[in-house]
Amino acid sequence: MTIAIVIILLVIATLVFHFISPWWFTPLASNWQAIDDTINISLWVVGAVFVAVSLFLAFVILKYRHNKDRRADYEPENSKLEGWLTIVTTLGVAAMLAPGLVVWGQFISVPENIEVVEVVGQQWHWSYRLPGKDGKLGKTSIKLISEENPFGIDVNDINGADDLLIKSNELHLQIDQPIKVLLRSKDVLHNFAVPQFRVKMDLVPGAITFVWFTPTKLGRYELLCEELCGIAHFTMRGFIKVDSANDYQTWLASLPTFSQTLIHDTADIAQGKQLYDSCVSCHGIDGQGNDAMNAPKLAGLSRWYLHRQLSYFQQKIRGQNSKDLYGQQMAAMSVLLTSDKAIEDVSAYLNSLIPTKKSQVATTAIKNMPMSTGNAIKGKLFYKNCAYCHGEQAQGNFAMNAPKLAGQHAWYLKRQINAYQQGIRGAHPADLYGKQMVLMSKVLHDERAVDDVVSYINSLPNTREIEL
């Protein structure tokens, strides 16, 4: 008795939940209305069957529940009824399947003369490549991937020279322009998924897969990896920005070609040393940092990391948050570096600084500073989450976009972790890899955990990063 009533109530509750649920598909932003339509048709059909079957179940229980004075019927088979049920079910299933197959047919037939973009996945980042003026992507190979050539493009392939490279997690697309997305993975399986576009597909190492769609709404959409790709899977995010035709052209013009990325001025270390003069008062003559001035250690950090951070300060990507007082200071100072070349020079100079005896003393002193009160043994357990990218010895890893941490001042590491946790750093949309740290830093649940991991990092030897 109760069970029958409960089933009726569950059916009602399910329907109510369905119709009042605020959790529903994101507004469609592509041409795939047909997918939404198929879902809606299917939902109505399966919903109706669910309601009918459940209510019939409840009815049967109510009507035929145990009664001493009644006997059950004896009817082993009823071939007519069974035949009808088979036919009706078959027709219902066919009616659901047919539109699905038609739409699948559309999904796998890519329109001719479509624009092409390559999306490259790696643990745990996205990057993109456009074919350039010739409309052809250059050949690639895993073996060619290096710090110079992160896409692994074959320099001997003429088609590759004008390929436009987007070493960032944000891709722009032009509105109403059908696009075929070629998917390539450098390491493990990934999945290209933008909920608003509806379509998704795995990236398979060793193969090129694809999806196609036409973005139909301006906006910035979050790209998620939806195939488990290791520990930081949940941080593998990117963005797809759908631009108007004009904005898209402006963006295109800003992209370097592959051949341009291969040519860069040799950084002038002597020039960098001169430029560094204006930084000495805070960061120290040897780039050793100074806690009294809230200046982190810079000596021996990798060029690409210094370059990126200095650019961020200049471009108001870092050091803009009202709570980031020292960052604001740095943002103001960074304008002294008047060109990209200047940034390159000073980065090269700082990278060339090998910790001198004096600064090594300073590092030892840091270890004994009251800031580093954590338990390094416990910290080691937390650090295993960081080691995937930053390295077992916190030496940093260009391929993972992870800076060196070893040898950095404890108070600075702690302040940055806190800044990530509170969204003071890394929250700016243009901070490419900051979002990942915002997500990862939350693994450290409390102050003590932060202290522990910082102490562990401090206990690691401060070796120079191996340069490629």
Partner 1 sequence: MTKMDNVAIADQVDQSSHPSTFLSKYIWSQDHKVIAIQYSITAIAVGLVALVLSGMMRLQLGFPNEFSFIDPASYLQFVTMHGMIMVIYLLTALLLGGFGNYLIPLMIGARDMVFPFLNMLSYWIYLLSVLVLLASFFVSGGPTGAGWTLYPPQAILSGTPGADAGILLMLASLAIFIVAFTMGGLNYVTTILQARAKGMTLMRMPLTLWGIFVATILGLLAFPALLVSAIMMIFDKVIGTSFFMPAILSLGETLEHSGGSPILFQHLFWFFGHPEVYIVALPAFGMVSDVIAIHARKNIFGYRMMVWAIIAIGGLSFVVWAHHMYVSGMNPYFGFFFATTTLIIAIPTALKVYNWLLTLWRGNIHLTVPMLFAIGFIFTFTHGGLTGLMLGNVVIDLPLSDTFFVVAHFHMVMGVSPIMVLFAAIYHWFPLLTGRYLSNRLGKFHFWGTFLGTYAIYLPMHYLGFLGVPRRYYAMGDTDFIPESAQTLNAGITVSAIIVALVQLVFIINVIWSTFKGKKSGRNPWQATSLEWQTAQFPPEHGNWGEQLPQVYRWAYDYSVPKVKDDFIPQNLCPKEVEYLASDKNMTKGESNATF
For residues 193-252, which are near partner 1 according to CB under 8 A?
Answer: 193, 195-196, 198-207, 209, 220-222, 224, 226-235, 237
Q: Does 100 bind partner 1 (CB under 8 A)?
A: yes
Contacting range for partner 1; rule: CB under 8 A; set: 79-87, 269-277, 315-323, 361-369: 79-87
Question: How far is it, in rounded angstroms, from Cα 122 to Cα 187?
Answer: 6
CA 355 vs. chain centroid, Å, equals 34
Contact positions with partner 1 (CB under 8 A) in 416-445: 435, 438-440, 442-443, 445
Q: Using CB under 8 A, which of the segments 287-295, 314-322, 339-347, 394-402 binds partner 1?
A: 394-402
| Candidate residues 127, 169, 185, 363; the one interacting with partner 1 per rule CB under 8 A | 185
Which region, judged by CB under 8 A, interacts with partner 1, from 158-166, 283-291, 350-358, 397-405?
Answer: 397-405
* Region of 77-85, 155-163, 331-339, 345-353 interacting with partner 1 (CB under 8 A): 77-85
Q: For partner 1, give the closer residue by CB, 202 or 243.
A: 202
Pairwise CA distance, residues 198 & 261, whole Å: 34
The 10 Å CB-count burial string (b at 16+, else e) for 341-369 is: ebbbbbbbbbbebebeeebeebbeebeee
Long-range contacts from 37-46, C-beta under 8 angstroms, 24+ separation: 37/99, 38/99, 38/100, 38/103, 41/96, 41/99, 42/96, 42/100, 45/92, 45/95, 45/96
457 binds partner 1 (CB under 8 A): no
Judging by beta carbons within 10 Å of its beta carbon (0-12, 13-18, 19+), is residue 71 exposed, middle or buried? exposed
Candidates 127-135, 178-186, 270-278, 297-305: pick the segment binding partner 1 (CB under 8 A).
178-186
Using CB under 8 A, which of 127, 169, 174, 191 touches partner 1? 191
Of residues 94 and 292, the one with the C-beta less far from partner 1: 94
CB 160 within 8 A of CB 153: yes
Nearer to partner 1, 46 or 262 (CB): 46
Please report, as residue ranges, which positions from 43 to 62 form the binding site for partner 1 (by CB under 8 A).
43, 46, 49-50, 53-54, 56-57, 60-61
Residue 467: is it exposed, middle or buried by C-beta count within 10 angstroms (0-12/13-18/19+)?
exposed
And the tokens for 442?
Answer: 């939350």
Task: Please classify residue 457 by burial: count the beta carbons closer than 10 Å to its beta carbon, then call 0-12 exposed, 13-18 middle and 19+ buried.
Answer: buried
* Residue in 116, 155, 188, 252 binding partner 1, rule: CB under 8 A: 188
The verdict on 12 binding partner 1 (CB under 8 A) reads no
Question: Residue 298 contacts by C-beta under 8 Å, 6 or more apart in sequence?
Answer: 279, 283, 287, 289, 306, 350, 353
Among 112, 265, 446, 467, which residue sits at the site for partner 1 (rule: CB under 8 A)?
446
Q: Which of residues 303-342 bind partner 1 (CB under 8 A)?
A: none
User: What residues are paired with 183 via a beta bridge?
Assistant: 119, 209
Considering beta carbons, is residue 152 or 256 the nearer one to partner 1?
Answer: 152
Q: Which of 82, 134, 148, 277 binds partner 1 (CB under 8 A)?
A: 82
Nearest residue (CB) to partner 1, 153 versus 203: 203
Taking the C-alpha atoms of residue 77 and residue 81, their distance in angstroms, rounded to an integer, is 9
Enumerate residues 363-392 that contact partner 1 by CB under 8 A: 382, 384-385, 388-389
Q: Is the dihedral of CA 414, 331, 147, 297 positive or negative?
A: negative
139-168 residues in contact with partner 1 (CB under 8 A) are 141-143, 145
- If phi > 0 it is left, if psi is from -120 to 50 it is alpha, else beta; for residue 73 that is beta
Size of residue set near partner 1 by CB under 8 A? 119
Q: Which of 424, 452, 411, 463 has its CA nearest to residue 296?
A: 411
What is the SS3 string spanning 291-310? Answer: HHHCECCCCCCCHHHHHHHH
Task: Single out the segment in contact with partner 1 by CB under 8 A; choices: 82-90, 130-138, 241-249, 275-283.
Answer: 82-90
